[in-house]
Amino acid sequence: MIDMKDAYKLVIDNSLELEIESVPLREAAGRFLSGPVVSPIDSPPFDKSAMDGYAVTVGDETSQSAGFAILETVAAGEVPSKKLVPGSCIKIMTGAMLPENAGKVIRVEYTDESDGVMRVTAPEPYENIIRRGENLKAGDEFIQVKRLGPGDIGSLAASGIHRVNVRRRLRVGIITTGSELREPGEPLGPGEIYNSSGIQLSTQIAAAGALPVKYGIVPDDADEHAEAVKTGIKECDLLLMTGGVSKGDFDYVPDTLREAGVEIVFHGVKVKPGRPTLFGRRLSAGDRDNTFIFGLPGNPVSTYILFEVLVKAFIYRLNGLTYRLPVMQGRLASEIRRRDTERMEFRPVKLTGTEVDVHGVEAVAVRTIEPVRYMGSAHLNALVEADGIVVLEPGLDRIEEGVLIDVRLI
């Protein structure tokens, strides 16, 4: 067995970056950019009004107590046809293009209008003008390598970009092993349980920006394992297998992988849950034919947590990014104890409230962290309550009540 930190390093060091493809912007949400994006235009591309109001020349709003003659009204999308002169104004809508000599926009709330004349009723303290190129200038890098979200898509569209270069969508196969498994909706016989890990992994894969490929339940039969692995290696970039990785009489996964030409990088990690975890690779002369394999324990909590802390990091690395679970600090509401201290252990916890922690003259809000009821790696319902996990390092037998701890959010 190897330490969890060594397992993580081996996984990351064995990754290869996916190929690049161009996709329409409308299909780019959730995809991974392959490189920084440069704006092709100034943003905004012209001086525009930040408010509904009246455009005047610089300093003119304080000198015309008699009022300003309204030359025209300009809506968003229209081009001003008049030039401002002292004593005049142009009524303008938010986002509309300003005349070249506009120095300020007086908000409509600070004015009265009647008979084609605007009068100022209160001083306007701000310019209320968004200058050309104020947000971005043509040639600026404005989105770095990342996974694209809705805000990124909007920003790209605002710059007139209609296609982006992204990493090819990763195909992740799911092989769930176990003769005792049945799909939800089917009747259970004696000794049978429902397949939760396969469906759970499918949603985790999709949430990580990859494409899940489902191969269903494979019974505990060496020949059927071999056939499923052969198909998965042929069709997928990454193959996830649940169950069958321990040392029982029906745990065929390690031997099946070796027979399929898979090099086992490691098998067995000093982590709880997840000790039997396996990672392998099958490399070929063509980059598109490489396949990586994770063998995950059959218990669903193990599968879920190992995906979040290890497999997801691998998926992001294939897409050119580094991923670690986001971390929040909080105060532990009750003690966490354990007997076996040999392995790193992940325990599910929930965020239950906020307290005010006073440091000198500053008051800092600190979340309260409470362990959830957890009966081990088969207790999937514990994840329903959990907001994150805490890490107990090897050799640590307890975390005392009241201490500040880091929580990895899941």
- Residue type present at position 291: T
Tell me the residue range of the domain where 93 lies: 48-130
In the listed set 275, 299, 318, which residue is the last one of a domain according to the structure? 318
The answer to whether the bond into 150 is cis (omega within 30° of 0) is no
Residues 289 and 241 placed together within one structural domain of the fold: yes
Phi and psi at 368, nearest 5°, equal -95, 130
* pLDDT over 70 (residue 286): no
Residues 262 and 339 placed together within one structural domain of the fold: no
The one-character DSSP state at 132 is T
pLDDT of residue 378: 81
Q: Is 177 exposed, middle or buried (CB count within 10 Å of its CB: 0-12, 13-18, 19+)?
A: buried
Instruction: In whole angstroms, give the CA distance from residue 270 to residue 238.
Output: 23
Closest CA to 336 of 407, 409, 268: 407
Angle at the Cα of 82 from the Cα atoms of 79 and 87, rounded to 5 degrees: 135
pLDDT of residue 288: 59
On whether the CB atoms of residues 242 and 197 are closer than 8 A, the answer is yes
* pLDDT over 70 (residue 186): yes
Instruction: In whole angstroms, give the CA distance from residue 301 to residue 306.
Output: 8
The one-character DSSP state at 361 is T
* pLDDT over 60 (residue 287): no
CATH number of the domain where residue 96 is located: 2.170.190.11
Residues 221 and 246 placed together within one structural domain of the fold: yes
Strands 327-332 and 404-409: antiparallel
* pLDDT over 70 (residue 249): no
Residues 189 and 284 placed together within one structural domain of the fold: yes
On whether the CB atoms of residues 88 and 71 are closer than 8 A, the answer is yes
**371 token code pair:** 């362990």
Residues 235 and 347 placed together within one structural domain of the fold: no
Q: 368 versus 249: which is more confidently predicted?
A: 368
pLDDT of residue 334: 95
On whether the CB atoms of residues 314 and 16 are closer than 8 A, the answer is no
* pLDDT over 90 (residue 349): yes
Q: To the nearest whole number, what is the mean pLDDT of the chain?
A: 92
Phi and psi at 352, nearest 5°, equal -115, -10
pLDDT of residue 293: 96
Residues 28 and 149 placed together within one structural domain of the fold: yes
Residues 175 and 256 placed together within one structural domain of the fold: yes
CATH number of the domain where residue 396 is located: 2.40.340.10
pLDDT of residue 247: 66
Determine what percent of the chain is predicted with pLDDT higher than 70: 95
CATH number of the domain where residue 273 is located: 3.40.980.10
pLDDT of residue 142: 95
The one-character DSSP state at 33 is B
CA dihedral 401, 406, 409, 410 (to 10 degrees): -70
pLDDT of residue 361: 57
The one-character DSSP state at 299 is S
Residues 151 and 96 placed together within one structural domain of the fold: no
Instruction: In whole angstroms, give the CA distance from residue 268 to residue 336.
Output: 25
In the listed set 318, 347, 371, which residue is the last one of a domain according to the structure? 318
pLDDT tens per residue across span 302-321: 999 999 999 999 999 999 99
Quote the number of domains for the chain. 4
pTM for this predicted structure: 0.88
pLDDT tens per residue across span 350-404: 999 877 666 555 667 789 999 999 988 888 888 999 999 999 999 999 999 999 9
Determine what percent of the chain is predicted with pLDDT higher than 90: 81
Residues 278 and 345 placed together within one structural domain of the fold: no
pLDDT of residue 129: 97
Residues 230 and 245 placed together within one structural domain of the fold: yes
Strands (E), 33-191: 37-38, 48-49, 53-56, 68-74, 88-92, 104-107, 111-114, 117-120, 129-130, 141-143, 163-167, 171-177, 181-182
* pLDDT over 70 (residue 152): yes
pLDDT tens per residue across span 259-282: 999 999 999 999 999 999 999 999
In the listed set 301, 318, 335, which residue is the last one of a domain according to the structure? 318
pLDDT tens per residue across span 19-76: 999 999 999 999 999 999 999 999 999 999 999 999 999 877 666 677 999 999 999 9
Q: What is the DSSP string of 223-237?
A: HHHHHHHHHHHHH-S
Residues 188 and 198 placed together within one structural domain of the fold: yes
Residues 32 and 62 placed together within one structural domain of the fold: no
